[in-house]
Amino acid sequence: MSNISRRSFLQITGGAAAVGTLGFSPIILAGSHGGAGNVVVVGGGMGGATAARYIKKMDPKINVTIIEPNKHYYTCFTSNEVVGGMRGIDSIKFGYQHLEAMGIKVVQDIATKIDASAKKVMTKSNGGIAYDRCIVSPGVDFKWETVEGYDAKVAAEKIPHAWKAGPQTVMLTKQLQAMKDGGTVIIAAPPNPFRCPPGPYDRASLIAWYLKKNKPKSKVLILDAKDKFSKQGLFTSAWKEHYGFGTDNSLIEWVKGAEGGIIEGVDAATNTVIGGVDEYKADVVNIIPAQKAGKIAFASGLVNDKGWCPVDHKTFESSKHKDVYVIGDSSVAAPMPKSGYAANSQAKVCAAAVVASLQGKEAPHPTYVNTCYSVITPEHGISVAMVYNYANGKIGKVKGSGGLSPKDASKDDRKREVKYAHSWFNNITKDAFGG
**Domain C-terminal end among 287, 303, 333:** 287
Judgement on whether residues 280 and 392 belong to the same structural domain of the protein: no
Among 49, 50, 55, CA closest to 32: 55
Give me the CATH number covering residue 163: 3.50.50.60
**pLDDT given at position 260:** 95
The residue type of 93 is: K
Q: Do 266 and 161 belong to one domain?
A: yes
Is 208 domain-assigned? yes
Question: Is 275 found in the same domain as 180?
Answer: yes
Q: Tell me, yes or no, whether 174 and 273 share the same domain.
A: yes
Number of domains in the chain: 2
Q: Would strands 394-397 and 380-391 be described as parallel, antiparallel, or unpaired?
A: antiparallel
d(CA 357, CA 398): 27
Which portions of the chain are predicted below pLDDT 70?
Answer: 1-35
Domain end call among 248, 272, 287: 287
Render pLDDT for 399-409 as a digit per residue (tens, 0 to 9): 999 899 999 99
Q: How far is CA 395 from CA 120, 244, 315, 389, 414, in A?
A: 30, 40, 11, 6, 31
Task: Give CA–CA dist 155/143, Å, rounded.
Answer: 13
Tell me, what's the pLDDT at 373? 98
Among candidate residues 287, 302, 331, the one where a domain is terminated:
287
pLDDT tens by residue, 162-193: 999 999 999 999 999 999 999 999 999 999 99
What is the pTM assigned to this prediction? 0.93
- Does the residue 264 lie in any domain? yes
Task: State residue 87's pLDDT score.
Answer: 98
Query: CATH number, domain at 12?
Result: 3.90.760.10
Asked whether residue 223 is assigned to any structural domain, the reply reads: yes
Residue 196 domain flag: yes
Q: According to the model, what pLDDT value does residue 9 have?
A: 47
Q: How far apart are CA 94 and CA 49, in angstroms?
A: 11
Looking at residue 12, what is its pLDDT? 45
What is the pLDDT at residue 13?
A: 47
In a domain, 46, yes or no: no
CA 406/CA 20 separation, integer angstroms: 26
Q: Is residue 266 part of a domain?
A: yes
Distance CA 413, CA 382 (A): 9
Q: Are residues 396 and 272 in the same domain?
A: no
Could you tell me the residue range of the domain that residue 395 belongs to? Answer: 1-23+366-435
Residue 155 domain-assigned (yes or no): yes
Asked if 161 and 268 sit in the same domain, the reply is: yes
The rounded distance, in Å, linking the Cα atoms of 173 and 168 is 8
Q: Is residue 114 part of a domain?
A: no
Instruction: Give the pLDDT score at 161.
Output: 98
